[in-house]
A and B are shown apart, each in its own frame.
Chain A
Amino acid sequence: MTWETVIGLEVHTQLATKTKIFSGASTEFGAAPNTQACAIDLAMPGTLPVLNAEAVRMAVMFGVAIDAEIGLISSFDRKNYFYPDLPKGYQTTQLDRPIVLAGTVDIQLGDGSTKTVRIHHAHLEEDAGKSLHEDFHGMSGIDLNRAGTPLIEIVSEPDMNSPEEAVAFAKKLHALVVSIGICDGEMAQGSMRFDVNVSVRKKGEELGTRTETKNLNSFRFMERAIVQEVERQIDLIEDGGKVKQETRLYDGDTHTARSMRSKEEANDYRYFPCPDLLPVEVDQAYVDAVRATLPELPEARRARFVDSFGLSAYDASVLCDEPSTAAYFETVASHCGDAKLAANWVTGELAARLNSEEQLIQHCPVSAEQLAALIARIIDKTISNKMAREVFTAMWGGEGEPDAIIEARGLKQVSDSGAIEGMVDTVIANSTKQVDNYRNADEAKRPKMLGYFVGQIMKASKGQANPQQVNEVLLKKLEALL
């Protein structure tokens, strides 16, 4: 029996405006609790919201980036519920007339194919504050710094059929909103949060009952949550049960989800049009003007990396997943002049180090210019790849510029042909048995036997001989003995 998974995403994306969506308070992350909440954010009596034009621009920017129709007249509604992190007792959001209408996002699948995920709409709304449950002796603290931070909630159609597709879509959205400058993309700070709608069905059947899992703030959590939920639903059905429509809450600490409320217990939000805000009207000229400021999108960048840098589609894709990585790579490539080597370093050594140190490329201790300078020393044969890795580690540790490290550690590669010839001669002279074997071996087996000699020469040079030169000289000398 084959099951098909159907996944739709709702993505809460914080917009990178300086001030809040309806007030002049700062949206900066990390300030002391409640220092960035003004009278409006605190819902003091008599205060009124005024829409931040920059939030509108950013939402429209997202719309044109996914080739969506823009809601030329959009409007705000009140979603009513009581919660301490929601000061007004309602969230101001867009229900019937969102600012961004249907659009599409293409994702690349593992097999190299492309899939189009439809976006149902994206709407503007305000973020809530945060409840803090630690250090309050059984009580809860409320931090309203985040209250009123502008969000766009991006709602996809249920077009994804596996956790991998969902993650690819989420990463694609992430790359997109960061590259067009409307979101800082800091997942750990909650700048992008996912709710996933999951259902399963047997191939060809009607859509199954879906559940919504909330509060996923990393790609990894999202993937795990979907995998678990799909398994849970299939097990349930195969055991003769039925999936209940419900909202589930994922706990990132225990990696488990639990039912938060069933459909029957769902809140009645009593939406109605917000009388404090006029409908938002934008005209086509405004939309066109925003479109004109659209920077290069990840998709176009990927194509350019293949075309003008000669990268493989895979490398280009990996680099463009994360706009900061793509930008970093471009700087390295342009400074060192060898795009392929730059790509190898950025997707290899650098990515591995960032990963193991759980560091974001934005905060990478080795700048793109420094990495380029290091790669330049590989290109001009000053150091070998292996030495470069050592230098890189030193640079990561804050030891400074690559040239200074090479100098200080005496890592200069020996490329002096006289010195190399001398070392080759010595090794050949001391290895009569191996030379005899070499001479007597089949021609086809000989290249494999070179390793021993190279190893001895590198040992003699303390690893500093240029391996390529060693190979050339050694081969020449051994050929002469045949």
Chain B
Amino acid sequence: MHNLTLAELSAGLIAGKFSSVEVTQHFLARIQRLDGNYNSFITITEERALAQAAAADKLLAAGNAPALCGVPIAHKDIFCTDGVRTSCGSKMLDNFVPPYNATVVENLAAAGVVVLGKTNMDEFAMGSSNETSYYGPVKNPWNTDCVPGGSSGGSAAAVAARLTPAATATDTGGSIRQPAALCGISGLKPTYGRVSRWGMIAFASSLDQGGPMARSAEDLALMLNQMAGFDRRDSTSIEQEVPDYCAGLQQDIAGMTIGVPAEYFGEGLNPAIEQATRDALAELEKQGAKLKTISLPHSHLSVPAYYVIAPAEASANLSRFDGSRYGYRCENPVDLRDMYMRSRSEGFGEEVKRRILIGAYCLSAGYYDAYYNKAMQVRRLIKEDFVSAFKDVDMIAGPTCANPAFAFGAKSDDPVAMYLEDIYTIATNLAGLPGMSLPCGLVDDKPVGLQLIGNYFDEGGMLNVAHRYQQVSDWHSRCAPGID
């Protein structure tokens, strides 16, 4: 049953082949049995899940079930869930139970999903390996000595290990696409503003975007149909109609022009990954797409610009965690300053503290122009690169990551090496463009991903290309060794 896709589970539930309670029990049992190996869940909401499943079964029986009725999923522990602890992977929020739901959580609940639990993540989504989680690292189902990527490593590993058919995730600089690539699954980061950020704990507000992770483009489409849409509670969400992402999956891609940025194939790219990427592109060419080499000349500036802007925003976004209203408070503070300093020093992990310091520094008097302002100028240049590229091409494609999953600890002591993990994914966040990753091969028995970058609001176009690719390839349906 766990080998069925989200689409197949949904169809089976509607056809009455199995009940939601059966499906839910199956996945819960699987999580109980296997997640000790991966640590992909922080919280398992068994009781709630079974109650939701029972309710879903009633709706299914009555024949008026909403789109994803009774299908189990998991939420990244960055999305607030009413009555369920939402930790954001941090000691700071280990005791935090929100009295409200994120819009994404609400929308999916309205679609009838069953929530199995909350998935592990890098602390406050800051990390590319899932090693910064207060709840311990997540292990890559393809090789448990290796990282699953981050920050949505828990969601990626859970989908890859078939512990859930799909999961929600967030992407600030690659946090959906990089772990999707490293765990051999599909993941999509929508256009900035497509999915509401209400109730999604902020890392870098101008870059954060929620999106789905699943095994196939079709499943991503099913999830995105429910997740996307305008929300008046998020001023940056965009009021634009949400198409039916499933409807366009089969469209012919013949005649489509796919831009291949020269800068994404330069020094540092693992040759085997380059080969896998080029093979995948050739497959698209076979289906009639035209490949065109393009240039995104400011690509090399995206990581430095990102590591000014994202920490700057984070330094303010994380100020609210001060020990006074919720979350971690140090023992016996002697005064206000002591409470602030110790609560934050003890409640945040090293990487979070590093980024808060970087951000505060970049915004300081005398440094603002040299760092923040300059980074914002670079950001505009990067965006203009894409805007001008999209005058000639319909889609952009390249590798998601330069290398397959690395061993635990390999980059922990070298923040810059870790930051370079997102070298191909960060630019899309800076530009606000949609991007996705889909499995396109194995290198050293570890999955690698093909990245697609769409024009603004062209999630449908990306899903279409991905689906067409998945019709003629089987990388997305392969299973990690040892997973039945």
Contacts and interface: CB of A to CB of B under 8 A. Distances in A.
Interface stretch (B8-16, B21-29, B313-321, B454-462): B313-321
B418 interface: no
Chain B interface mostly helix, strand, loop or mixed? loop
Contacts of B86: 45-46
Chain A interface mostly helix, strand, loop or mixed? loop
Interface string A248-269: 0000000000000000000010
Interface stretch (B93-101, B291-299, B409-417): B93-101
B102 interface: yes
A39 B315 CA distance: 21
Contacts of A419: none
Given A84-B324, A268-B365, A272-B316, A45 B340 contact: no
B360 interface: yes
Most buried by B among A45, A78, A82, A268: A45
B319 A90 contact: yes
A50 B318 CA distance: 19
Interface in B173-221: 197-202, 204-206
B43 interface: no
Contact of B200 (A39, A46, A80): A46
B322 interface: yes
Contacts of A78: 316
Given A268-B364, A276-B205, A45 B198 contact: no
A236 interface: no
Given A90-B316, A277-B235, A48 B88 contact: no
B235 to A, nearest CB: 5
Interface in B61-107: 79-80, 86, 88, 93, 96, 98-100, 102
A6 to B, nearest CB: 26
B235 A51 contact: yes
Interface in A41-93: 42-51, 78, 80, 82, 84, 87-90
A48 B340 contact: no
A271 B204 CA distance: 15
Nearest to A37: B325
B319 A82 contact: yes
B306 interface: no
Nearest to B205: A275
Nearest to A24: B233
A87 B325 CA distance: 8
A278 interface: yes
Contact of B235 (A50, A88, A142): A50
Contacts of A271: 363, 368
Contacts of A276: 202, 205, 235-236
A160 B360 CA distance: 38
A270 interface: yes
A80 B100 contact: no
Given A45-B88, A87-B320, A89-B320, A80 B363 contact: yes
B324 A142 contact: yes
10 closest A-B pairs (Cβ-Cβ)?
A89-B319, A275-B206, A270-B363, A275-B205, A43-B320, A46-B199, A45-B201, A46-B80, A46-B201, A268-B365
Interface of A: 39, 42-51, 78, 80, 82, 84, 87-90, 140, 142, 268, 270-272, 275-278
Interface of B: 79-80, 86, 88, 93, 96, 98-100, 102, 197-202, 204-206, 232-236, 312-313, 315-316, 318-322, 324-326, 336, 340, 360, 363-365, 368, 372
Given A44-B325, A48-B197, A90-B319, 9 more contacts: A45-B93, A46-B80, A51-B235, A80-B316, A270-B316, A271-B363, A275-B206, A275-B313, A276-B236
8 contacts: A46-B100, A48-B234, A50-B233, A88-B319, A89-B318, A270-B315, A272-B363, A275-B205
